[in-house]
């Protein structure tokens, strides 16, 4: 349900990815859902996106509003209603993801690609904007949007700025020689500004110069102020803690709804949980595992990175299989993790299936068909999959960190474990499977998980409050 926000603040939501056009992770989902929730509540929110091929492809109706030269590049501003697209084929229309080529290497010119993007975002928030529509507030998301507050700082007349950190580990570090080409004032390149140990840090720029900072869960907001989670920026975040808040992400409850999900074998809800068995059988068949209703099926979906604890899962797999259980994993990422998981699957034919790739349909099938969802993350700013899995009656076993702490109730809607070690993961799965073998208890847990409200309403209300507070304060 849409929150009731009676605000007339105009907001430019600046993001490098937005589902369904482009999505590499949670930011893509958030960038689709949050502006939509705010618009549904009556706010005037427009999303600024780079003109990747997938974006231009669905914006054929967009109107050309202005042509501007930014940092030496000719850019066209396309107006597609809720979206403003920066069309500069030379920078954005490439075969690959927003950040990488198909072979998984970052584009060499990412700092310039996103520098141009940020410079344009800033331009739109000043009286020099070529557009008639001018935002009161610019909401910047992650490092590719983080130079916008830097460019706006010191402008006589400008919009307020919010910097949201979806993942502090991605900072957009680049060569200091780019200070000039990016037209960052040289006086800002100091340890108090956007210098990070000799490099130019996009994210640090945003964290220093934005009027307000947010991150995507209250626990992660506290964690990033500590050396263990702060990626070298914890001191800065402690200094700015008065303007830092954690606002938990919501999920798209229409896309992720087992009662209406067209991507799963059989739809179900909390009153028809027995139908979940059909989804389990369909998943087992799809991944060439023996169909066995009684064998617990553990599922995982996500980027294969150190962050996600894929190595912990690989190290735990032999013991998990021996419980006994089947395991299905979907994801892609670092080759060493892909190799580790492939070796696990080879050791346990018929018990472990690993699907490499990005596959939305299979992600839905795993949420619906698994009995238990695994999320052994070392850190997790918010995490979406544990919310999806609770909604699908697939209780998560998750590490007690970041947004996982804020969304999983241990022993009630899922299972949390403290230490980032495979033994702790194994022990938590053991606890989960003990509950699984007690059908009445398991159903209680599934229903408690499915009853949780992870919709965007509350988050949208909080962002709207923040926008209103900032938009009414005169800016420097
Ligand atoms: P992060 O943003 O750190 O990758 P989140 O849990 O916040 O993690 O969001 C991940 C999103 O991307 C979820 O919607 C998840 O389902 C999706 N996802 C990640 N990897 C894959 C994959 N290999 N195939 C399909 N969806 C994926």
3-state SS, residue 141: strand
Quick one: which atom of ligand 1 is closest to the CA of 363?
Answer: 25
Ligand 1 contacts CB of residue 360 (under 6 A):
yes
Pairing assessment for the beta strands 173-174 and 199-201 based on DSSP bridges: antiparallel
Q: Are 314 and 337 in contact (CB under 8 A)?
A: yes
- If one residue of 363, 387, 388 were mutated to test the ligand 1 pocket, choosing by the most ligand atoms within 8 A of its CB, it would be 363
| pLDDT given for residue 103 in this prediction | 87
The candidate with the shortest Cα–Cα distance to 224, out of 208, 201, 240, is 240
Q: What is the mean pLDDT of each run of 10 residues along the chain (476 residues)?
A: 53 96 90 94 96 94 97 98 97 95 93 98 97 96 98 94 97 98 97 97 98 98 98 98 98 94 98 96 98 98 96 98 98 95 97 96 98 98 97 98 98 98 98 98 98 95 94 57
**Calpha distance 130→141 (Å, rounded):** 23
pLDDT at 428: 98
Hey, what are 249's tokens?
Answer: 């992400």
Neighbours of 347 (CB within 10 A): 12
Is the separation of the CB atoms in 295 and 323 below 8 Å? no
Return the HEC string of 305-318: CCCCCHHHHHHHHH
Pocket residue to mutate for ligand 1, from 384, 392, 404, most atoms within 8 A of Cβ: 384
Residue 144 DSSP code:
G
- Ligand 1, atom 17, residue with closest C-alpha: 25
Question: Is the shortest distance between the CB of 284 and ligand 1 below 6 Å?
Answer: no
Ligand 1 contact via 29 beta carbon (within 6 Å): yes
pLDDT value at residue 7: 59
Is-contact 50 86, C-beta < 8 A? yes
Q: Which atom of ligand 1 is nearest to the CA of 330?
A: 23
Ligand 1 centroid to residue 451 C-alpha, Å = 22
* pLDDT tens figures, 394-442: 999 999 999 999 999 999 999 999 999 999 999 999 999 999 999 999 9
Task: Annotate 330-354 with DSSP letters as a single string.
Answer: EEEE-HHHHHHHHHHHHHSTTTEEE
* 422-436 vs 310-321: helix crossing angle, rounded to 10: 50
All structural domains of the chain, each given as residue ranges with its CATH number in brackets, are 10-250+457-469 (3.40.50.2000), 273-450 (3.40.50.2000)
- Ligand 1 center to 343 CA (angstroms): 23
CA 22 to chain centre: 12
- What backbone torsions phi and psi does residue 436 show, to the nearest 5 degrees? -60, -35
| pLDDT value of residue 473 | 53
Provide the residue count of the chain. Answer: 476
Residue linked to tokens 């099938």: 365
Residue-wise pLDDT for 77-113, tens only, equals: 999 999 999 999 999 999 999 999 988 899 999 999 9
Please report where in the chains the tokens 């989902």 appear, as a residue. Answer: 29
Which residue's entry shows tokens 């990175």? Answer: 305
Instruction: Give the closest residue to 207 by CA, choosing from 131, 298, 145, 269.
Output: 145
**pTM of the predicted model, to two decimals?**
0.94
The residue to mutate among 216, 250, 385, having the most atoms of ligand 1 within 8 angstroms of its beta carbon, is: 385
* Residue 385 Cβ contacting ligand 1 at under 6 Å: yes
Q: Which of 302, 391, 403, 454 to mutate to test the pocket of ligand 1 (most atoms within 8 A of CB)?
A: 302
CA distance 109 to 125: 25
């Amino acid at each position: 349900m849409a929150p009731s926000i009676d605000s007339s603040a105009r907001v430019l939501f600046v993001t490098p990815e937005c589902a369904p056009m482009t999505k590499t992770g949670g930011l893509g989902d958030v960038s689709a859902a949050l502006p939509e929730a705010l618009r549904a509540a009556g706010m005037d929110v427009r999303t600024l996106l780079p003109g990747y091929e997938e974006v231009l492809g669905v914006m054929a109706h967009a109107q050309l509003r202005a042509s501007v030269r930014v940092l030496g590049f000719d850019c066209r501003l396309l107006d597609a209603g809720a979206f403003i697209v920066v069309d500069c084929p030379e920078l954005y229309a490439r075969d690959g993801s927003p950040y990488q080529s198909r072979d998984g290497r970052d584009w060499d010119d990412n700092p310039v690609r996103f520098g141009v993007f940020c410079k344009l975002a800033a331009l739109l928030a000043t009286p020099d904007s070529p557009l008639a529509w001018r935002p009161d507030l610019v909401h910047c998301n992650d490092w590719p949007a983080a130079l916008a507050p830097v460019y706006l700082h010191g402008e006589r007349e400008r919009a307020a700025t919010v910097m949201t950190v979806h993942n502090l580990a991605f900072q957009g570090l680049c060569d200091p020689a780019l200070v000039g080409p990016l037209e960052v004032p040289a006086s800002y390149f100091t340890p108090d500004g956007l210098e990070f140990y000799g490099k130019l840090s996009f994210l640090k720029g945003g964290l220093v110069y934005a009027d307000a900072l947010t991150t995507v869960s209250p626990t992660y907001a506290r964690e990033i102020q500590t050396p263990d989670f702060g990626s070298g920026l914890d001191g800065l975040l402690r200094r700015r803690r008065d303007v830092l808040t954690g606002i938990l992400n919501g999920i798209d409850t229409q896309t992720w709804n087992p009662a209406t999900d067209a991507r799963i074998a059989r739809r179900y809800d909390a009153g028809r949980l027995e139908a979940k068995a059909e989804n389990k059988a369909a998943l087992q068949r799809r991944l060439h595992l023996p169909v066995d209703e009684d064998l617990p099926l553990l599922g995982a979906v996500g980027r294969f990175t150190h962050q996600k604890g894929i190595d912990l899962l690989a190290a735990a797999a032999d013991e998990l299989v021996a419980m006994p259980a089947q395991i299905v994993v979907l994801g892609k990422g670092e080759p060493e993790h892909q190799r580790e998981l492939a070796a696990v699957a080879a050791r346990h034919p018929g018990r472990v299936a690993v699907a490499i790739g990005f596959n939305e349909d299979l992600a839905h099938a795993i949420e619906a068909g698994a009995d238990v969802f695994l999320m052994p993350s070392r850190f997790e700013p918010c995490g979406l999959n544990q919310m999806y899995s609770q909604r699908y009656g697939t209780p998560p076993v998750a590490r007690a960190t970041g947004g996982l702490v804020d969304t999983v109730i241990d022993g009630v809607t899922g299972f949390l474990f403290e230490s980032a070690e495979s033994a702790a993961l194994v022990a938590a799965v053991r606890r989960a499977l003990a509950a699984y073998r007690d059908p009445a208890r398991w159903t209680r847990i599934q229903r408690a998980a499915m009853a949780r409200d992870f919709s965007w309403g509350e988050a949208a209300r909080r962002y709207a409050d923040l926008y209103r507070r900032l938009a009414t304060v005169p800016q420097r």
